[in-house]
Amino acid sequence: MNKFLRTLIPTDIAKGLSVTGKHFGQVFFTANRRKVPFHIVGEYPEVPAKVQPRYRGRLTLLKDEQGEIKCVCCLACEKICPTQVITIEKGKMEGRKMPFPVRYDFEMERCIFCEFCVESCGFDSIILNHQFELAAYNREDFSLGTKGTAQNMFELSPVGKYSVAED
Amino acid sequence: MFKNEEMEINLGPQHPSTHGVLRVKLRLDGETVTHCRPMIGYLHRGVEKICENQSFFQGQVWTDRMDYCSAVANNLGWAEANEKLLGITVPRRAQYIRTLLNEFNRIASHLIWLGTHAMDIGALTVFLYAFREREDVLDINEAFCGSRLTTTAFRIGGLREDLPPGFEKMVRKFLAKFSDCLDEYEALLTENRIWKKRTIGVAKLSAEDAIALGVTGPMLRAAGVAYDIRKAFPYAAYAEMDFEVPTRTEADTYARYEVRMAEMRQSARIIQQCMDGMPEGPVMAKLPKILRSEVNEVYHATESPKGEIGYYLVGEKGSLNPYRFHVRAPGFINLQSLPKMAEGGLIADVVAAIGSLDIVLGEIDR
């Protein structure tokens, strides 16, 4: 008899509907939807997305106060990279004791963003920035280096340049 | 006038309910499955061979990409197997943080299972709610190691960095609401008559068959065998944790659902204990500059969300990279039980069986 009543009266369906109804009602009857618990609102392309401070984005070469590249070509990052995306060519520059990277090539298309290179660097000359929109239209745009204006290792990549939160 | 013969069809490799690129060869007699063979290998990358050619340190990035739903659990197994091989003891604080992140990963993996499995069977709402909580877990991953999915969370010998500021607040906030969230999923599914009709008594796998096939994880526990490596052979900080191993005896899809839901509650309990009893101290052991193996071979098994994930490493004494590397992937071995579960059932229940296996093809094909 009890089982028959339970089959007749769909309490289980009502229970499920009450969950969805509760969430719908909370959102529908509240003016400020950001305040609704459990409700996630994001206006992502208009409002830059916030990432955590440790976020692993694109590899970036750093410069010191004089505007010189900090890298001293110890090749630690080249050796540790699991996918061998970094190629460094050693060279000399006048008025600088330490070796200077004539070439610092970074093949972003094969990079897996593991941050082993930054971890291995003993001179704090590279970081992974907070950029996550790394799409490009041409394959050449993924080959980054120290030269050139559009794609270099010092600035943000052009696509998604405007939707990265500065912090 | 009517011909009566068996029909052979392919389920997959592009079928949405096969969770990736799994192809299942089915022979049907009407709607009854008479023969079922899973075909794998569409996602083979040769992870084991790649790891043999790289140093002990570099290999970890490949373990992320095996079972990408539970990357942290894979990292943990890899790091501990290597520590055994290289003879390193990990500081206690690092062990606690590892346990904490591993349990978060179990929750994330089970949530993705819950969402997709319920969606396969027809309950779409749960998918949205489950992914909402998974997002919080991924944010915690991102706060700790900088990446959401391919975590590379641990290092051989401990951790790269200590917990970031504000981490405890994130964890406490998650724990405070997670129990209510689980109640919400259960309100949607546990008593639902359609869910019960589609899962109770479907895709049965008895304890004898499960043990004979080497099935581990929630699949085995749903058959009534309380085998959990966290309890049987404690690793990381599990020996100091107080938790239960949920089991059911029905051995059907519904029992697996109940076991996984109960496991998520236990995971939340372990996270609570980790956070409360977090010891102070360093997070990285003192390591030699170049990692060389100390012993010849090692097998280390840990409990990943899907089952027993074991790493078998052979390293000649003093070598820089493993001579042989093998992964005992839980998904690969659990998938063997699919013919046993599906044959004799209806074709619609094959989808339920695949869903209850909780497979990730990145791990099966490696």
- Domain residue ranges in chain A: 2-35, 59-158
- Out of 1.25.40.10, 3.30.70.3270, 3.90.550.10, 3.10.20.740, the CATH code matching A59-158 is 3.30.70.3270
Least confident interval from A7-21, B91-105, B171-185? A7-21
Report the residue from B135, B145, B189 with minimal CB separation from A54: B145
CATH annotation of B57-311 = 1.10.645.10
pLDDT higher than 70, residue A148: no
Tell me the CA end-to-end span of chain A in Å, nearest whole number: 66
From B297's Cα to the closest Cα of chain A, the distance in A is 23
- What distance in Å separates the CA atoms of residue A33 and residue A31, rounded to the nearest whole number? 6
Q: What is the pLDDT of residues B189-207, one digit of tens each?
A: 888 888 888 888 888 888 8
Domain ranges (residues) in chain B: 57-311
The pLDDT of A130-147, averaged and rounded, is: 78
Residue B168, amino acid: E
CB contact under 8 A, A54 and B57: no
Q: What is the pLDDT of residues B99-146, one digit of tens each?
A: 999 999 999 999 999 989 888 888 888 888 888 888 889 989 889 988
Mean pLDDT for all residues in chain A: 79
Mean pLDDT for all residues in chain B: 87
Q: What is the pLDDT of residues A86-125, one digit of tens each?
A: 888 888 877 777 888 888 888 888 888 888 888 888 888 8
How are the residues of chain A apportioned to helix, strand and coil, as percentages rounded to the nearest 5?
A: 30, 15, 55
Q: How far is CA B41 from CA A45, B13, B37, B49, in A?
A: 38, 10, 13, 15
Closest C-alpha among B341, B333, B343, B344 to residue B40: B333
CB contact under 8 A, B146 and A82: no
Other CB atoms within 10 Å distance of the CB of residue B343: 16
The contacts of residue B257 (CB under 8 Å, 6+ apart) are B114, B117, B189, B199, B356
What φ, ψ does residue B94 adopt, rounded to 5°?
-65, -40
**Between these two residues, B198 and A155, which has the higher pLDDT value?**
B198
Query: Does the CB of A42 have a partner CB in chain B at under 8 Å?
Result: no
Percent of chain B topping pLDDT 90:
10
CB contact under 8 A, B58 and A18: no
- On chain B, the residues whose CB falls within 8 A of the CB of A53 are 143, 164
Q: Which two tokens stand for residue B338?
A: 């699919």
What φ, ψ does residue B326 adopt, rounded to 5°?
-140, 145
pLDDT higher than 60, residue B172: yes
- What distance in Å separates the CA atoms of residue B69 and residue A51, rounded to the nearest whole number? 21
CB pairs under 8 A between A and B: 69
Q: What is the pLDDT of residues B259-296, one digit of tens each?
A: 999 999 999 999 999 888 888 888 888 887 777 777 77
Q: In a 10 Å sphere around its CB, with 0-12 CB exposed, 13-18 middle and 19+ buried, how is residue A115 labelled?
A: buried
Report the residue from B164, B187, B192 with minimal CB separation from A53: B164
Confirm if B133 and B111 have CB atoms less than 8 A apart: yes
pLDDT at A166: 53
**Between these two residues, A95 and B249, which has the higher pLDDT value?**
B249
- On chain B, the residues whose CB falls within 8 A of the CB of A56 are 146-147
Chain A residue nearest residue B58, CA to CA: A82
pLDDT at B352: 87
**Helices marked H in B34-152 — which ranges?**
47-52, 60-64, 71-86, 92-121, 124-145
- What distance in Å separates the CA atoms of residue B332 and residue B341, rounded to the nearest whole number? 15
Chain A residue nearest residue B123, CA to CA: A16
pLDDT at A161: 56
- Tell the residue number behind the tokens 């270099």, with chain if given: A152
CB contact under 8 A, A52 and B54: no
pLDDT at A159: 62
pLDDT higher than 80, residue A152: no
CA angle B19, B352, B309 (to 5 degrees): 55
The pLDDT of A54-72, averaged and rounded, is: 83
**Which residues pair with residue B313 across a beta bridge?**
B298, B325
Confirm if B268 and B178 have CB atoms less than 8 A apart: yes
From A132's Cα to the closest Cα of chain B, the distance in A is 11
